[in-house]
Structure 1
């Protein structure tokens, strides 16, 4: 298993889990999974994004684990989860992995609030039609994510021509070029691409270390999946109470993605825009993201999941 070069002290240092386990997905893929906080507390599951790991959620886990059971896992090929075989990169596989983690970590009858960042949010959308999600999730947070047209809407490369901009973004997203060491220049690039201008330098350093630790084959494998992502049909299947979070300065999944999600979700509890923040909202403002999660736990976390149809019936 790979050990990620993460901070050992401070708010961005990954907390020590109460326990660890290896979850086996439907195709045999092994997923490193961590459990934090009291076993009998309200449960929260956090799914990280492309080229990240469980370490990405460190500030949120620290804030929640005092009074929540927090479940985090490394998406296949990330962190300490081994890379899949050639056929193991797909949104279907992401959904399979999520279901496997839910079934392995939540006892029968227990539900959790699920929060997904970037590709983690896409994971939740991909699993929207799964019975396990409906039975084990109480509510959902879609954070800095989108359902389709990632290349077309990205603002990383500031070219005037939409076609030229999309072409360059397509090359970058599918690239397997080595990232090299974490240098001052590398951190400036990470800040520009993924974070707002006011990001804490320690947060930039942590994100750069996590991103550079992802194997380039895995980065390229998942990048190719994201190139042609099409999950718009899944949004209507996500009938659980769902909050949407976006940073107004997000270059990777700009606010128009969040607007489209909020408009299409059957039961959107709110669209939260975080001024001046980039793509890494759980790291840039963990208090805001944690507050949204806590609000959903308080409202829905200990009750039967309320679907969009049920919510409509309750208001009529």
Structure 2
């Protein structure tokens, strides 16, 4: 299969596209709408399908790219154990192939880690802004860091988790799915949990365990102060994954960050409060793009 080719927005409002990555793995991604580009990056064990509702809504104003990361959705894992660095390089290849500039990126959970890693490895010249949805720059806790997962997960607990994934992925997925949502919502709306679980069950146990292990090794705290682009920290005020202190840390550490809490959401505000989520992301993207345009104009006038 040939590489995906850059295309102008008038080619169509909805398309499933494919990109042959450097090792021959074929990435699937959806390309929806017209306008400035938003790139939506899903979390661990999820897929681009988790963004269906918000992607369609945002596509009324933006061109929305929604990839399935390696080992997720319609994109295979490839032959080697998957790492965060692999996913970061894949996204950079997608941005390069599509010749994207002034892109607003959104990373949910692990998707944020992938974006941070991409910036660490390739810079942020192509980016106008980033939305970080309920994530920490280091998910594991220890004696010197307590802003990882709210469960207090440390290295030993992470190893137990990967062992459980490999031993019985369906059982692990069934326990994991409800924790994506605010506890009262999961109890009140069991269908939202069932829908998520139906997608989670499709993942390969070893691929998910390998990727979790890679994610647990990441510590991107030192990189954040150098990410000098507008950032929106979107978090669920009822998240069982990360506490509000983690979001405050991100606002204090990133050079140009603001936060928005979703009062009735857990770890997945885009699923739990999609209308408010779309409004918040749309407004942030408009502001980030306007700032990027203004900066480009100023630089051009100086030169």
- Whether TM-score is above 0.5 comes out as yes
1:266 alignment partner in structure 2:
255
The Cα shift of 1:241 comes to: 0.3
Aligned equivalents of 2:104, 2:61: Cα separation in 1: 14
- Match for residue 178 of structure 1 among 163, 168, 186: 168
1:155-166 equivalent positions in 2, closer than 5 A:
155-156=150-151
Query: Is this contact kept in 2: 1:43–1:68, CA < 8 A?
Result: yes
Aligned equivalents of 1:259, 1:278: Cα separation in 2: 16
The Cα shift of 1:104 comes to: 2.4
1:194 alignment partner in structure 2:
180
The Cα shift of 1:92 comes to: 1.9
Query: Is this contact kept in 1: 2:158–2:216, CA < 8 A?
Result: no
Q: What TM-score comes out, normalization by structure 2 length?
A: 0.81
Q: Which ranges of structure 2 fall in alignment gaps of 5 or more residues?
A: 1-11, 143-147, 299-303
The Cα shift of 1:252 comes to: 2.0
2:265 alignment partner in structure 1:
277
2:92 alignment partner in structure 1:
99
Cα 1:251–1:96, aligned 2, differ >3 Å: closer, same or farther? same
Query: SS of the residue aligned with 1:304?
Result: helix
**Does residue 73 of structure 2 align to residue 82 of structure 1?**
no
**Does residue 58 of structure 2 align to residue 55 of structure 1?**
no
**Does residue 230 of structure 2 align to residue 241 of structure 1?**
yes
**Does residue 117 of structure 2 align to residue 122 of structure 1?**
no
The Cα shift of 1:182 comes to: 11
Aligned equivalents of 2:294, 2:76: Cα separation in 1: 36
Structure with bigger RCO (C-alpha 8 Å, 6+ apart) = 1
2:33 alignment partner in structure 1:
37
**Does residue 9 of structure 2 align to residue 19 of structure 1?**
no
The Cα shift of 1:302 comes to: 5.0
Query: Is this contact kept in 2: 1:45–1:70, CA < 8 A?
Result: yes
Query: SS of the residue aligned with 1:222?
Result: helix
Query: Is this contact kept in 1: 2:42–2:48, CA < 8 A?
Result: yes
Cα 1:46–1:302, aligned 2, differ >3 Å: closer, same or farther? same
Query: Is this contact kept in 2: 1:91–1:126, CA < 8 A?
Result: yes
- Match for residue 282 of structure 2 among 294, 303, 313: 294
Query: SS of the residue aligned with 1:83?
Result: coil
Query: Is this contact kept in 1: 2:133–2:233, CA < 8 A?
Result: yes
- Match for residue 71 of structure 1 among 65, 90, 100: 65
2:145 alignment partner in structure 1:
none
1:154 alignment partner in structure 2:
149
Query: SS of the residue aligned with 1:301?
Result: helix
Cα 1:242–1:259, aligned 2, differ >3 Å: closer, same or farther? same
Q: Which ranges of structure 1 fall in alignment gaps of 5 or more residues?
A: 1-15, 157-161, 311-316
Query: Is this contact kept in 2: 1:138–1:240, CA < 8 A?
Result: yes
Query: Is this contact kept in 2: 1:182–1:209, CA < 8 A?
Result: no
**Does residue 131 of structure 2 align to residue 138 of structure 1?**
no
Q: What TM-score comes out, normalization by structure 1 length?
A: 0.78
Cα 1:103–1:64, aligned 2, differ >3 Å: closer, same or farther? same
Give the number of equivalent residue pairs.
276
- Match for residue 206 of structure 1 among 195, 199, 208: 195
Give the alignment's Cα RMSD to 1 decimal: 2.8
